[in-house]
Amino acid sequence: MADKLSAHELDSMNAADLEAKLREAKEELFNLRFQAATGQLESHGRLRTVKKDIARIYTVVRERELGIRTAPGASNTKTEEATA
């Protein structure tokens, strides 16, 4: 992962992409923590960024579950029912 993920980027991803990105971020966090424990970590700020990226991904996933956000390509059934 290069830089922090934006909410706009996460909105455009489908569930499988979000899951892959989450797995990738967790793996990076593990590696960064390992480097910190062994004294090899150069950028401690990267730990914070990766943790926040993970939180952003979890937030988008949860908001989709609650219906606050819609998945890309998914139609909003509530507004379609109201107009019909």
| 3-class DSSP string for 12-43 | CCCHHHHHHHHHHHHHHHHHHHHHHHHCCCCC
Domain of 45, in residue numbers: 7-68
Position 82 scores a pLDDT of 54
Position 4 scores a pLDDT of 81
Asked if residue 73 belongs to a domain, the reply is no
Output the domain CATH number for residue 31: 1.10.287.310
Position 8 scores a pLDDT of 85
Position 5 scores a pLDDT of 84
Per-residue pLDDT of the chain (84 residues; tens, 9 = 90+): 457 888 888 889 999 999 999 999 999 999 999 999 999 999 999 999 999 999 999 999 999 999 998 888 766 655 555 555
